[in-house]
Structure 1
Amino acid sequence: MKQNILVVSESLGQPNHKRGIFHFTRELARSLASKGHELTLVVETSRRYRKLCRRERRTKLFAAQSRNIELLALYRYLDEINVSGPVTLSGTRRKVEWLRRRAGLLLSRDNIVCLMRALGLISLPTCLIENRPAALEYIPPDLRHLELFGDFQLEPGFFDYQDASAFFLLPPPRIDARKYDVIVVDTPTRVVIRRKPGAKVICIVHDLLPLTDLKLSDIATRQFLARIRTSLRQADELAFVSNYSMMRFRELLPQFAHLPARVVYPRTRFDAPDIPHLPAPSGRPGRPSFVVIVSNEPRKNVAAVVGAFRNVPQADLIVIGYTGEISRMRNLPSNVRFAGYVDEHEKAGLIAEAHGLIMPSLAEGFGVPIIEALAANTPVLCSDIAVFREVAGELADYFDPFSTEAIAASVIRVLTRQEECRGRIRARRHELAQRFGYETQARDFLGHEKPGERLVVAR
């Protein structure tokens, strides 16, 4: 049965750098759209958006309902993303700057409107704008997923206000979702949803790292607690990205054990042709290379991988993502190259060309690069942690993430066993596509169960 679905996702509705959450929700939207469901995305409107709308009306060049400039403003806003920037707050100066900016936003027109709506002092009609991407001349590759949405639901200052409301413990923002059958909420999103009888709220739990990672800031933990509490209190069902995440949730938040829950793995595309031969080198000509995808968080463990390549002079390491001070360290190994942020197309090419993808993380909710590598028939080298065992099984080579010697030994093993590693992946390709291909994600997410499956109640 086709359903009308509203997606409330900070990673799609506002520019940010939550890459794992972005990947999951983008592929989920692709899967839902392929099954004929009607999708609407909540998008925050800003001062810049209102200025362009007023300018459009003043010119009187367009028909009253054309809304071309409004659509252009939304796409431009959603393209203002700095994924190469830091993702954690560290240092007093950065925290003070963050608080100063949040306090300023709290006094903005958009935040005041959100606060008054949250208090029930004013009500605003639901504002929808039809998504007509054909009206735009060019859509960058990183925004192509927006074409999956039939409409945008416009909410003034929505995501900025939910940030401020979480920190200052103000009433959460409200949205009117009475025309939708299903509301998908990427947790942690702090929002109160007004819905029609019978409508279902499904909250996606990616991980609980802000409650368990000792290296994250107090601000991050405080915000996460306020956000996820609001989400869970109105959820009808929960979707977890891994069995590991679901088990951690049961341990840490047993008071929500009554909520029906299911595991819905992140997905990727397995429809690319399988390439049986060895890859071309993606580093220096004539040399094998390995890829690691990281961010500037201690749990990503990038320093250990960089150090390990001192002991593997015969291969190169390509580091994708923002690494902060690590890329500016003295005496870095000459066989390590820092690529910084690369777009999705270039990242896919680097993974496909590599002799192996390395996942050295100390903690994760899933590990999307693993399935991207498996889809490209690229060998995977992983930290020996429970969630990676769940995702990669016997298809990965595992190492102790605290030992640079163990990481180097894993690289050498994979380097000398290329055909064996790729052969194991090729033999399981159909099974991997069923488990991690986007075509089955909508079915799993909406609970259209296969024979013998049922919804699990987290106990």
Structure 2
Amino acid sequence: MKILVVSEALGEPNHKRGIFHFTRELIRSLAADGHDLTLLVETTRRYRQLRTRQRRAQLFPADSRLIELLALYRFLDEADMNEPVARSAVRRTIDWVKHRIRACTSWEFGACLLRAIGLLPLRVKLIENKTAGLEYIPTDLRHLELFRDFLLEPGFYSYQDASALTQLPPPQIDARDYDVILVDTPTRVAIKRGPNAKVICVVHDLLPLTDLKLSDVATRLFLSRLMTSLHQADELAFVSNYSMNRFRDLLPQFFYLPARVVYPRTRFEPFRLAPVPMPVPVSTARPGQPTFVVIVSAEPRKNLNAVVRAFRKMPHADLVVIGYAGGTSLMRNPPPNVRFAGYVEEHDKATLISDAHGLIMPSLAEGFGVPIIEALAANTPVLCSDIPVFREVAGELADYFDPFSTESICASVTRVLSCQDEWRRKIRERRGELVERFGPQTQARDLLAPPRTVEYLVAAQ
């Protein structure tokens, strides 16, 4: 089938969150099944600058499409995950306002607005993805090679938020040539499609509606996106039974939409049957100390502070924090056994997880919990909060703790350290089941099959 993918995680300089992981693996699965994929990419002033610079360099003929393709790949690779974040909330607000002003005064934003209100006709600008002309593609961009074409939409993702706040019409796209339009996460978009086309909207969670720590603006933006997507969706896909049931509780008026669960996936490398020694952590300056990893973002619900307090009481074990930890990484007198690694490349993250004595997921709320399946794929023990969605994902293959209790976290670490061989044996014995449930080969099948054949039921039901 011809599938148009509308995804902020892939269609603009990405931010390497769990949504990015889900969509990247889904694209790999769809491509492996032979589907014809096109990615909608937002172009901005920055993309135009890159393209103009390459034309002036005269490295290629003036009419070469490779100029645009090279500019597009460079544009999508521009997210700097290690860029320092302003410490002051006032400074962050100022930077956000300046970014919005620049976006709203750009040519791309104006073109998107004029098409949304009908003063400019819809257009389709496709770039064929001839990656053979590119000498080297970074590892984090390899998924882009799986798209046949890129559909360029000026200012698309920037305009959708402005239209939500100002009640302007949503951006429009012409998708009449596609069989399926996959909207990854609720997106404010008006889709012009063919009579037999199907719109599938992926809902990862409803946390922007229920998280008390998020701003009113963030909640309004998400709700506007969600409602626009739901009114056009033919089917819904959720990343867990928990997310699907929460959706039905909070938005029962959309119960009529067919729904299914499509779990996030990860790659399960061939398992080594030969005995392997206990991991020697590569992530700590104290060789020989047991090491645990935690993957976070700067959100209070990630509950990182509780884990740091727990490891302050456990000087015999080390903790490596992967991801942007916000103010926690700037705390005074941090425990010497806690290291903040920041953003790390996918290969390095996989190494840290596989070499660790355990992965800790202390979240108070999640839609799924991708690091859990990454750890299970690496045969690494999992320690996580005792919340329903983690019980759904990990089942009996995790040690659970009370996320509000540092003593409970410490006890969990002690239990996992004392039973390393047993935990790894349990995970290894269930590997076939894990591959079937979370391996990438079935993700496309679950997304495109009739919802009634793939919808999972909660065990209690």
Residue 281 of structure 1 is matched in structure 2 by 281
CA apart distance, 1:15: 1.5
* Matched residue, 1:381: 383
Q: Deviations over 1:272-306 (max 9, x none)?
A: 43465322223221111000000111000111101
Equivalence for 2:107: 109
Q: How far apart are residue 330 of structure 1 and its match?
A: 1.7
Preserved contact between residue 361 and residue 384 of structure 2 (Cα < 8 Å):
yes
Deviation at 1:389, TM superposition (A): 0.3
Is 1:453 matched up with 2:453?
A: yes
Find 1:302's aligned residue among 301, 304, 312: 304
Closer, same or farther: CA 258–394 of 1 in aligned 2, 3 Å:
same
The residue identity in structure 2 corresponding to 1:253 is L
Q: Contact 2:204/2:243 (CA < 8 Å) preserved in 1? A: yes
Cα distance, 1:82 vs. partner? 3.3
Please tell me the residue identity of whatever aligns with 1:326: T
- In the TM superposition, residue 226 of structure 1 has moved relative to its aligned partner by 1.0
Are the counterparts in 2 of residues 305 and 360 from structure 1 also a CA contact under 8 Å? yes
Structure 2, unaligned runs of 5 or more: none
Distance 1:73 1:53 in 2: 5
How has the CA–CA distance of structure 1 residues 266 and 457 changed in structure 2, closer, same or farther, with 3 Å as cutoff? closer
Q: Which deviations, in whole Å up to 9, do the C-alpha atoms of 1:356-407 show, x marking residues without a partner?
A: 0000000000000000000000000000000000000000000000011110
Q: Which residue of 2 aligns with 1:414?
A: 416
Cα offset, 1:89, TM superposition? 12
**CA–CA distance in structure 2, aligned partners of residues 302 and 38 of structure 1:** 41
CA shift for structure 1 position 46: 1.8
Identity of aligned residues (%): 69
The 3 A distance-change label for structure 1 pair 372 and 66 is: same
Alignment of 1:1-400 (within 5 A): 3-17=1-15, 19-54=17-52, 62-63=60-61, 66-84=64-82, 91-274=89-272, 277=276, 278-282=278-282, 283=284, 284-400=286-402
Q: What letter corresponds to residue 157 of structure 2 in structure 1?
A: F
Distance 2:243 2:260 in 1: 11
Output the CA distance in 1 between the equivalents of 2:399 and 2:408: 11
Deviation at 1:412, TM superposition (A): 0.7
Deviates more, 1:60-69 or 1:30-39: 60-69
Tell me if structure 2 keeps the 8 A contact 1:261–1:457: no
Q: Does the aligned pair in 2 maintain the 1:86–1:324 contact within 8 Å? A: no
- Aligned residue-pair number: 454
Q: Give ranges in structure 1 of 5+ residues lacking alignment.
A: none
Q: How far did residue 168 of structure 1 move?
A: 2.1
Residue identity in the other structure for 1:370: I
8 A Cα contact 1:85 1:322, kept in partner: no
* Greater Cα offset, 230-239 or 88-97: 88-97
Q: Does the CA-based 8 Å contact 2:310-2:407 persist in structure 1? A: yes
Structure 1 residue matching 2:395: 3-state secondary structure: helix
Q: CA deviation at 1:270?
A: 1.0
Relative to structure 1, the CA distance from residue 433 to residue 302 in structure 2 (aligned partners, 3 Å threshold; closer, same or farther) is same
The answer to whether the 8 Å contact 1:33/1:148 transfers is: yes
- TM score, norm. by length of structure 2: 0.93
- What secondary structure, in the 3-state scheme, does the structure 2 residue paired with 1:394 have? coil
Q: Tell me, in whole angstroms, the C-alpha distance in 1 between the residues paired with 2:456 and 2:371.
A: 27
**How far apart are the structure 2 equivalents of 1:92 and 1:252?**
34
Q: Counterpart amino acid of 1:147? A: E
Distance 1:81 1:193 in 2: 28
Secondary structure at the aligned position of 1:15 is classed as coil
Does structure 1 retain, via aligned residues, the 8 Å contact 2:22–2:265?
yes
Question: Take 1:254 and 1:378, find their aligned partners in 2: how far apart are those partners?
Answer: 39
Q: 1:95 to 1:52 in 2, by over 3 A?
A: closer
Q: Contact 1:16 / 1:82 at 8 angstroms: preserved in 2?
A: no
1:408 maps to amino acid = C
Using the TM superposition, give the Cα deviation of residue 17 of structure 1 relative to its aligned residue in structure 2, in angstroms.
2.0
What is the letter of the counterpart of residue 424 of structure 2? R
> Contact 1:447/1:455 (CA < 8 Å) preserved in 2?
no
Q: CA deviation at 1:454?
A: 5.2
1:85 CA displacement: 6.3
State whether residues 89 and 95 of structure 1, in contact with CA within 8 Å, keep that contact through their aligned partners in structure 2: no
Q: Give the letter for the 2:398 counterpart.
A: A
User: Normalization by structure 1: what TM-score?
Assistant: 0.94
- Contact 1:89 1:217 (C-alpha < 8 Å) held by counterparts: no
Letter in 2 for 1:156: P
Q: Give the Å deviation of 1:144.
A: 0.8
Tell me the distance in 1 between the aligned counterparts of 2:57 and 2:341: 44
Contact 1:395/1:424, CA 8 A, preserved across alignment: yes
